Amino acid sequence: MYWWLNPYYYPYYWYPLPYIMDPTYLLGMTFQWIIYPYYFMMTMEIYRAIIETWRRSLEALTKALEVREVKT
């Protein structure tokens, strides 16, 4: 049962130690402390790679469009 639906049941960190960890509570903590930061950092790395690719392609495009003097 979800803890916010029952007024007599609260998350474990409100109880004094020792306590037995609930698997659903552990799953929530795992997502909060491990999965979400990993997902966030992978998203930032993808954005960084996309921005780096665009920067390199625009630099190559400006180099290709440069007007060079013709030496006679």
Residue 27 lies in a domain: yes
Collapsing DSSP to helix, strand or coil, 20 comes out as coil
Residue ranges making up the domain that contains 43: 23-62
| Sign of torsion over alpha carbons 20, 5, 24, 12 | negative
Residue 71 lies in a domain: no
Residue 18 lies in a domain: no
The domain total for the chain is 1
Residue 1 lies in a domain: no
Name which of 1, 17, 18 is nearest 9 in CA terms.
Answer: 1
How far is residue 15's CA from residue 8's CA, in Å, rounded to a whole number?
12
pLDDT tens digits, 30-61? 888 888 888 889 999 999 999 999 999 999 99
Higher pLDDT, 70 or 65: 65
**Average confidence score pLDDT of the chain:** 79
**pLDDT of the residue at 37:** 85
Residue 2 lies in a domain: no
Residue 40 lies in a domain: yes
Residue 3 lies in a domain: no
